[in-house]
Amino acid sequence: MPAEFTSLRPLLFTVYVPAAAYGIGMGAAAPVMALTALDLGASPAVAGLTVAFVGLGQILGDIPAGQVVARLGERISIIAASTAGLIGVLLCLFAPTVPILGAGLIIVGLSNAVWGLARMSYLSEVVPFERRARAMSLFGGAMRLGFFVGPFLGAAAITGFGTRGGFAVQLIAIVLAGWLMARLPDPPTAEAATPRPPLSLIAVARAHRHLLLTLGAGSLLMGVGRASREAVLPLWADHLGVSAATASLIFGVGAGLDVVCAYPAGHLMDRYGRRFIAVPSLAILAVAYLTVPLTDSALTLSVVAIVMGIGNGIGNGVIMTIGADIAPDVSRAEFLAAWRLTHDGGFFVGPLAISGLAAIGPLAVAILTIGGVSALGAGVMARYIPVFIPWPRKID
């Protein structure tokens, strides 16, 4: 068993600051992905699809990420992921065509998958159970803080260097985050004395199929509910005739609450259990989605965005915490990769579902459907979290 941190302070510059830096890079690049595709001659539809390539890359990266981390360890995996991320961002920065831009974004997604899993696996090892939720929520909150700040730094870079300035900020952020996190050595584990070949994702899925088909379904539904707001709020704002600048401000208010809610949510999870946060998070999102079609102005939509931000914010770190709780001591990294795939799959499917449903019917129906999905996710979490994570939990 690795030595555990009795305080989260030693992780400040090796986990949380790098996470914020990495989030800054993601936030700076997010607004310019579609714009760069448009500059390269893509149609609006193709430009919108290009943005989904990061999510696609992350899903593809989840498949081998567990074996990579199990084989190489957290530190080398971070170095490899950061190097891949640099290559991906450089392709985006200098892409002469849309296909090359898309390839760069997919590589960035692959990097995100390995990078995130390595840090999740590390925190699972070194943070004691009684502080685990706070550690994971702070990690998620640091990423969200960076994603919130990133567009502002990206805007400054765009002013000086053009549309692709956001990618330049991401390049610097990945270098800084990778360097900071690579300084920390791998924790000793029980597996070090008995080396074994890493398990494949299929083998992990077979061994834990009941858990992944039940609690994992809740994780997927939570991913759908959390990711869909990135499509719902701008699309409904446009439906109401709200300007792009105002729509961005509305989204930013909700995003800011993600950061504010991170640590309190982790504290409550450590004290009252994972279900205490997971179920209300999804229930609040469900209510917010079901209310969106009732809004008729920027003001009322802003109120709903605030509610949605609270629902999303209190869920910061809950999926990572649950994953750390249920991960076996043996094949921990491989299992966490399979667990992350459930949530990342939901993040990828959510916005695509909104787009597809809106294409064949009224936008309001698409939004109400996501509200129903979020409510279903709350029910699944309420049913299965106690099955796999009984509370109060006995600590050995």
Which sequence spans correspond to the domains of the chain?
A: 1-187, 196-396
Spatial CA neighbour of 286 closest among 213, 347, 348, 222: 222
What mean pLDDT do residues 259-280 have?
90
- Which backbone phi and psi does 395 adopt, to 5 degrees? -100, 125
pLDDT category at 245 given cuts 50, 70, 90 is: low
Same fold yes or no, 1-187 and 196-396: yes
pLDDT category at 1 given cuts 50, 70, 90 is: very low
Q: How far apart are CA 318 and CA 323, in angstroms?
A: 8
Q: How far apart are CA 226 and CA 370, in angstroms?
A: 10
Q: 188 or 194, which is more confident?
A: 188
> How is domain 196-396 classified at the CATH fold level?
Growth Hormone; Chain: A; (1.20.1250)
Report pLDDT digits (tens) over 360-379.
888 899 999 999 999 999 99
Q: How far apart are CA 284 and CA 274, in angstroms?
A: 16
- Which backbone phi and psi does 194 adopt, to 5 degrees? -130, 80
Distance of CA 106 to the CA centre of its chain: 16
Phi-psi category of residue 60: left, alpha or beta, with phi > 0 → left and psi -120 to 50 → alpha = alpha
- For residue 46, pLDDT beyond 90: no
Identity of the amino acid at 102: G
Lowest mean pLDDT among 89-103, 237-251, 339-353: 237-251
Lowest mean pLDDT among 2-16, 57-71, 157-171: 2-16
pLDDT category at 214 given cuts 50, 70, 90 is: very high
What mean pLDDT do residues 134-142 have?
89
Spatial CA neighbour of 17 closest among 180, 137, 162, 154: 180
Q: Whose structure tokens read 């990572």? A: 320
Residue pair 21/173 in contact (Cβ under 8 Å)? The answer is yes
The pLDDT of residue 322 is 96
The pLDDT of residue 45 is 65
Q: How far apart are CA 333 and CA 118, in angstroms?
A: 8
Residue pair 60/108 in contact (Cβ under 8 Å)? The answer is no
Residue pair 316/266 in contact (Cβ under 8 Å)? The answer is yes
Identity of the amino acid at 65: A
- For residue 147, pLDDT beyond 50: yes
Neighbouring residues of 28: CB distance < 8 A, sequence distance ≥ 6: 150, 151, 153, 154, 157, 166, 167, 169, 170, 173
Q: Domain 1-187 - what CATH class?
A: mainly alpha
- For residue 83, pLDDT beyond 60: yes
What mean pLDDT do residues 89-118 have?
94
Structure tokens at 393: 């939990």
Give the count of alpha carbons within 13 A of 276, CB side only.
15
The pLDDT of residue 195 is 56
